[in-house]
């Protein structure tokens, strides 16, 4: 029970806790060093493990796409920086993939405890957590996977795009946007909040009902 009590988890809409850490790219201060950028912070159970290796390769190959969205990738596990460095070297040597982003060496587990990345039934390994943090340092999305299942990096990229579109256009986005089975790449207009607006929307062209109105993204 001690591990459960010592672990906390930020809520969506909370500012990311501030911490200074050693990474494979030197010391980093979070989220201050990334002010004005989105951060994709993701943890993995451990270096030199097969599933984690496949995930890091996928993240590395899509780094340019994340950067186009003004986002920086940052990995984390409870391993020493020496282990991270050797693992990164192994990936480049054996798989011909360079890991271009920093990996936090959270060997004392302090960051993992702050972010709810430790599971009391899984020893000292971190779970597969993903945090999308906006340019203001606010936690906007969290995804947790068990150790046994690798993440789909394309879904992380899709979610980041969706958040940015939602913010910029003040809309909501349907399941699997922009490839939703019902609405395709259309977006959802916020529901009416008064009787008059609800009545007007009932007969609109792109409307299933007053509470379900959609439109093309311009």
Domains, the chain, in order of start with CATH, read: 2-151 (3.40.30.10), 170-218 (3.30.1020.10)
- Return all residues near 69 (Cβ < 8 A) that are at least 6 apart: 38, 157, 160, 161, 164
What mean pLDDT comes out for the span 102-119? 88
The confidence score (pLDDT) of residue 96 equals 98
With a pLDDT cut of 90, the percent of the chain lying above it is: 78
Average model confidence (pLDDT) across the chain: 91
The verdict on pTM exceeding 0.85 is yes
DSSP state of 107: T
DSSP state of 101: S
Active-site residue numbers? 52
CB neighbourhood size of 52 (10 A): 22
List the Cα angle 26/30/34 in 5-degree steps.
85
How would you class 182 by CB atoms within 10 Å of its CB: exposed for 0-12, middle for 13-18, buried for 19 or more? exposed
Size of the chain, expressed as the number of residues it contains? 218
The confidence score (pLDDT) of residue 6 equals 52
The confidence score (pLDDT) of residue 157 equals 98
pLDDT at 34 over 80: yes
Give the CA distances from residue 18 to residues 15, 152, 167, in Å, rounded to whole numbers and listed in that order: 9, 27, 24
CB neighbourhood size of 45 (10 A): 22
The confidence score (pLDDT) of residue 133 equals 97
pLDDT at 11 over 60: yes
pLDDT at 39 over 90: yes
């Amino acid at each position: 029970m001690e591990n459960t009590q010592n672990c906390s988890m930020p809520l969506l809409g909370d500012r990311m806790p501030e911490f200074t850490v050693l990474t494979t790219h030197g010391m980093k201060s979070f989220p201050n060093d990334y002010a004005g950028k989105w951060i994709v912070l993701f943890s993995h159970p451990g270096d030199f493990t097969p599933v984690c290796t496949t995930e890091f390769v996928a993240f590395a190959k899509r780094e340019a796409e994340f950067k186009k969205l003004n986002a920086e990738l940052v990995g984390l596990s409870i391993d020493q920086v020496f282990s991270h460095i050797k693992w990164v070297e192994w990936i480049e040597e054996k798989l011909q993939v360079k890991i271009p982003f920093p990996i936090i060496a959270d060997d004392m587990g302090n960051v993992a405890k702050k972010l709810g990345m430790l599971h009391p039934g899984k020893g000292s390994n971190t779970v597969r957590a993903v945090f999308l943090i906006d340019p203001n340092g606010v936690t906007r999305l969290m995804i947790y996977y068990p150790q046994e299942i690798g993440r789909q990096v394309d879904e992380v990229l899709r979610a980041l795009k969706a958040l940015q579109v939602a913010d910029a256009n003040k809309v909501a986005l349907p399941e699997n946007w922009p490839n939703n089975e019902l609405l395709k790449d259309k977006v959802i207009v916020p529901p009416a909040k008064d009787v008059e607006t609800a009545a007007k929307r009932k007969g609109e062209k792109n409307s299933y009902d007053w509470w379900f109105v959609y439109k093309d993204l311009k």
